[in-house]
Amino acid sequence: MLSILLADVALAKLGAAIGAGLAAIGAGIGIGRIGGQAMDAMARQPEVMGKLFTNMIVAAALIEGVALFAAVIAFLCI
């Protein structure tokens, strides 16, 4: 009986680790794409660099917020 309970706890921890890892990977990919696309846009139109940079920072902050919520929820599932 105890081994079944320990297996359930282990599976919950594994699921939380996988969920947090996927959230971190997704955030990294999203911020990388934002940065790359912003650099392309700044290279094409340098005169709007300030506006693009501001929008890039806001979008990156939103992605980080979603990743943080995903990691917190993954750890609360334990």
pTM of structure? 0.80
What is the full per-residue pLDDT of the chain (78 aa) written as tens digits? 657 666 788 888 888 899 899 999 999 999 999 999 999 999 999 999 999 999 999 999 999 999 999 989 888 877
Q: What is the pLDDT at residue 2?
A: 59
What was the pLDDT predicted at 26?
Answer: 94
Cβ-based neighbour number of residue 32 at 10 Å: 11
Q: Which fold has domain 2-76?
A: F1FO ATP Synthase (1.20.20)
Question: Which pLDDT does position 34 carry in this prediction?
Answer: 95
What's the pLDDT score for residue 77? 79
In Å, what is the CA distance from 73 to each residue of 23, 34, 47, 49, 70?
10, 25, 41, 36, 5
Q: How far apart are the first and last CA of the chain?
A: 19
Per-residue CA distances from 24 to 20, 28, 78 (Å): 6, 6, 18
